[in-house]
Amino acid sequence: MLGLMQDRPMMISSILSFAAQYHGDVEIVSVTADNPRHRYGYADAHKRACKLANALQRYGVKLGDRIATLAWNDYRHFELYFGVSGIGAVLHTVNPRLFADQLSYIFNHAEDRLLFIDPQFIPLVEQLGTQWKSIERVVVLAPADKMPETSVDGLISYEEFISAESEGFDWPEFDERTASSLCYTSGTTGNPKGVLFSHRSTVLHTLTVAAASNMAIMPHDNFLPVVPMFHANAWGTPYITPTAGSKMVFPGAHLDGARLYALLEEEKVTMSAGVPTVWLGLLNYVKEQGIGFNHLQRVLIGGAAAPGAMIDSFEKDYGVTVNHAWGMTEMSPVGTIGNIKRGHADKPQEEILALKRSQGHAFWGCDLKIVDDQGNRLPEDGETTGDLYVKGYFITSGYYNNPDATSEAFDKDGWFQTGDVASIDKDGYLRITDRSKDVIKSGGEWISSIDLENLAVGHPDVAEAAVIGRPHHKWDERPLLIILPHDQDNPPSKESILSFMEGKIAKWWMPDDVAYVSEIPHTATGKIQKTELRKTFADFKFS
């Protein structure tokens, strides 16, 4: 017997319609190339998303067509999030930091029809556009009088593209499993793989992550997503914030510590989200200046492991609550969030901080399991580590047009293999110890490169740290610690770093050597690129 409840499909368009109706004058503030501070409300955003939807249909965009963007976080990109998906087309957000051949691969693989692009990225089209086979037209996210000078033919300004259209649009309802957006994960080897989200998965992820037990975003919050809208849908925050009716602050292109700090203060931002490298820049800036935050209350840190010293500094030095989160593009992307559960809240501060250093706890909608090499489930005792698998309402069921990658990514019961190695404790707190390809196997036992990195960056003279395994005659592999010092001319000695680490980890985990670099390579999504470091240190031998 079926229930007698309305079977209304979950549509992304309903999120913006709701915000327009009930939070219509709540501000969306943006820094764009043509305006240092653009302001309007959710009602205006909705009107312009309607104009865009009309313009796309007039152009001939159909259900399932892919529409690409190469753009920073701002209000026009936000309108695309709803205007494109709202008509049943697929918003394909592309990471402009990818390498040329990856960009060409992605555009051609996705077969995008239109490309909406920030003026700063026009040089990319000039250089590579002829290799992008399917793109019919490029729309520049700028007014007609601020169009860039370029040799590219047939460009049109976004404002001109939507100008003649009506501010009204009847958002269609269709199967909620319809594809809504597409995002390629950079991966460290091979070609990028497309994750194809649906309206249903997006709405369910939005509801779950927004919940008070998870992200807990409230109407009084002023939220600034540092995480780019071209990376895993900015962790879903462009959908989450309008449901809460919170003010949105889009930071545009420039996110060094000084500019980010200024924007946080001027727009009275209470909550923000981004990867550890961004917070490192911000914390260094406030430390150097001897200043604090007047409005910032919470930061969501994810995308890579947040070092304990960073969490401690936010919480203890600046009174900013940290929620450490873990996930992947394939998971929409949030899979765990670090809130303190009932029963832990009264613990001493040090114990609470230890919990906060974990990647957070499991929440409804995303199931976790750890398994051994044979796929047997391992105990969730907080000690045992194994390969981490996930299953749930907003987890991918396969890569877009990529049967090979799909066939490798799931176990026989349909659980998705994350490629991470982790432990889970009895309360569901997850601790990621490594990417499976980065673990260091010393004498058959695993050493967590992430734990060593997080510990090393706690040293006051270390700006960034990476650990890779290098061959060892006796133990197969041993850890090499690679350091980027704060002061290149005055780096901390090997002895000072190792004695700082001593006693805080098992003795046999101690790095066998320390190497110094002037730069640590990062992937397009801000993660340490260990493949590059392995190449750089290919000839390294422990003495």
Least separation in angstroms between residue 345's CB and ligand ADP is: 22
Parallel/antiparallel/unpaired status of strands 513-516 and 247-250 = unpaired
Strands (E), 339-385: 361-362, 366-371
Separation CA 383–CA 391 (nearest Å): 22
Which residue of 86, 228, 303, 365 would you call a contact of ligand ADP, by CB under 6 A?
A: 303
Q: If binding is defined by CB under 6 A, does position 328 make contact with ligand ADP?
A: yes
Least separation in angstroms between residue 246's CB and ligand ADP is: 23
Bridge partners of 390?
Answer: 368, 416
Least separation in angstroms between residue 365's CB and ligand ADP is: 17
Which residue of 68, 304, 466, 501 would you call a contact of ligand ADP, by CB under 6 A?
A: 304
Which residue of 78, 107, 132, 326 would you call a contact of ligand ADP, by CB under 6 A?
A: 326
Q: Which of residues 499-528 bind ligand ADP (CB under 6 A)?
A: 523, 525, 527
Bridge partners of 185?
Answer: 193
Q: Which of residues 164-193 bind ligand ADP (CB under 6 A)?
A: 185-186
Parallel/antiparallel/unpaired status of strands 114-117 and 66-70 = parallel
Which residue of 241, 329, 442, 448 would you call a contact of ligand ADP, by CB under 6 A?
A: 329
Q: What is the CA radius of gyration of the chain?
A: 23
Parallel/antiparallel/unpaired status of strands 321-327 and 334-337 = antiparallel
Parallel/antiparallel/unpaired status of strands 366-371 and 114-117 = unpaired
Which residue of 324, 357, 470, 530 would you call a contact of ligand ADP, by CB under 6 A?
A: 324
Selected range binding ligand ADP among 263-271, 324-332, 482-490, 502-510, rule: CB under 6 A: 324-332
Least separation in angstroms between residue 419's CB and ligand ADP is: 6
Contacts of 87 (CB under 8 A, 6+ apart): 53, 56, 57, 61, 63, 171, 172
For ligand ADP, the closer CB: 29 or 430: 430
Separation CA 230–CA 243 (nearest Å): 21
Selected range binding ligand ADP among 162-170, 252-260, 322-330, 463-471, rule: CB under 6 A: 322-330
**Residue that has been written with the tokens 């780096």 in this structure:** 491
Which residue of 73, 243, 332, 359 would you call a contact of ligand ADP, by CB under 6 A?
A: 359
Selected range binding ligand ADP among 135-143, 297-305, 407-415, 484-492, rule: CB under 6 A: 297-305
CB 15 within 8 A of CB 239: yes
Q: If binding is defined by CB under 6 A, does position 237 make contact with ligand ADP?
A: no
Looking at 173, 446, 531, 532, which residue is catalytic?
446
Bridge partners of 477?
Answer: 471
Separation CA 406–CA 205 (nearest Å): 22
Q: How many residues bind ligand ADP (CB under 6 A)?
A: 22
The binding track of 401-420 with respect to ligand ADP, each residue x by CB under 6 A or -, is -----------------xxx
Least separation in angstroms between residue 21's CB and ligand ADP is: 33
Selected range binding ligand ADP among 25-33, 57-65, 237-245, 326-334, rule: CB under 6 A: 326-334
Backbone dihedral region for residue 521 (phi beyond 0: left; psi -120 to 50: alpha; all else: beta) = beta
Least separation in angstroms between residue 491's CB and ligand ADP is: 26
Annotation marks residue 446 as catalytic: yes
Looking at 176, 330, 380, 464, which residue is catalytic?
330
CB 91 within 8 A of CB 180: yes
Which stretch of DSSP H or E encloses residue 83?
A: helix 75-86
Least separation in angstroms between residue 418's CB and ligand ADP is: 5
Q: If binding is defined by CB under 6 A, does position 421 make contact with ligand ADP?
A: no
**Diameter of the chain by CA atoms?**
74
Annotation marks residue 171 as catalytic: no
Least separation in angstroms between residue 433's CB and ligand ADP is: 9
Which residue of 305, 322, 337, 480 would you call a contact of ligand ADP, by CB under 6 A?
A: 305
Bridge partners of 410?
Answer: 416
Annotation marks residue 531 as catalytic: no
Annotation marks residue 330 as catalytic: yes
Q: If binding is defined by CB under 6 A, does position 389 make contact with ligand ADP?
A: no
Separation CA 186–CA 524 (nearest Å): 7
> What's the residue count for the chain?
543
Type of residue numbered 56 = L
Separation CA 120–CA 150 (nearest Å): 11
Binding footprint of ligand ADP on the chain (CB under 6 A)? 185-186, 232, 302-305, 324-326, 328-329, 333, 359, 418-420, 432, 435, 523, 525, 527
- Residues with catalytic roles: 185, 330, 441, 446
